Structure 1
Amino acid sequence: MSKILLFGDSNEDILSINLGDILCFINTAKELNWKIVWIEGVSVKGFDMLAFEAEVKKGLKVSYDELIDLNKKIVQIYDLVLVGDKENIEDKKEENCDYIIELIDSSFWEITSKNEEFIEKLRQNFHN
């Protein structure tokens, strides 16, 4: 497993890297099983973020397209734990998943993956 921390542009007031920016570097993202383990944030008007956060507390399986759609509904994510795996994710421990994507306190991303190529692409594209 490889790990990378992404801090984005230090000249920005908010984190300049969003979830979509990260997911686009996973070649097989649409074929993976995804689960949101934890999320806190602020949504656009008309999307009930509090209800969504409560639903996620149980662990919410989502598709890649749902993740991209969610990224459009949320103005700012404060905290996120998202896991993805080729296999069924239902009973799998988070630390054993192929992808572990965490946003910590709106400040930085901590990404762990078995996919070395993905981590290297992130390293090349987001110079920290």
Structure 2
Amino acid sequence: MNDLIKLIGNDDFYLSVKLSDILQKINNGQNYQWKIMRLEAIMKNNSFYHIVELEEEISNSISGYIMQWEELVELSNQIFQTIEILLVGDKDFKNNLTEEEMRVTYNYYIELIDSSFWEISSNDFLFLEKVKQLD
């Protein structure tokens, strides 16, 4: 059973917790498969990512956009502001799950809603404890 935590950050004007902060708390992320189900972000000025094209690819993918761990970490470091994201990580993805089913099934479920708060679910309780310290 996965636990769910909610992060709202510690600043009144913007969400201070970034995707890169959360990913740093995952041990052995390379041992999992990663899919971005949804993404809307603003990249840093010197970023080499073409975010509009990436967002379109993700939006057009039926079962999520697969990324290797190293690529995902690099992407997170290039993001200036994440507006929306749904990222899942697992060792064996299943097809046609609802978001709620993904949340309780996959090893990692990381969602940012409207730049306002993170909902993070995982069966990795050490990871969740580390993430709680970000808030």
Q: TM-score, normalised by structure 2?
A: 0.82
Distance 1:90 1:68, change over 3 A: same
The Cα shift of 1:9 comes to 1.5
The Cα shift of 1:78 comes to 0.3
Aligned residue pairs total 124
Q: CA RMSD in A?
A: 1.8
Q: What stretches of structure 1 move > 4 A for 4+ residues in a row?
A: none
Rounded to whole Å, the distance in 2 between the matches of 1:72 and 1:25 is 14
Q: What is the identity percentage for the equivalent residue pairs of Structure 1 and Structure 2?
A: 35
Q: Please name the residue that 2:49 is paired with.
A: 47
The Cα shift of 1:92 comes to 6.8
Rounded to whole Å, the distance in 1 between the matches of 2:111 and 2:75 is 16
The Cα shift of 1:126 comes to 2.5
SS of aligned partner of 1:52: helix
5 Å-filtered alignment, 1:81-100, equals: 81-87=86-92, 89=93, 91=95, 93=97, 94-95=102-103, 96-100=105-109
5 Å-filtered alignment, 1:1-128, equals: 1-11=2-12, 13-45=13-45, 47-57=49-59, 58=61, 59-87=64-92, 89=93, 91=95, 93=97, 94-95=102-103, 96-123=105-132, 125-127=133-135
Unaligned runs of 5+ in 2: none
The Cα shift of 1:31 comes to 1.2
Distance 1:126 1:74, change over 3 A: closer
SS of aligned partner of 2:35: strand
Specify the code of the residue in structure 2 equivalent to 1:28: N
SS of aligned partner of 1:26: coil
Q: TM-score, normalised by structure 1?
A: 0.86
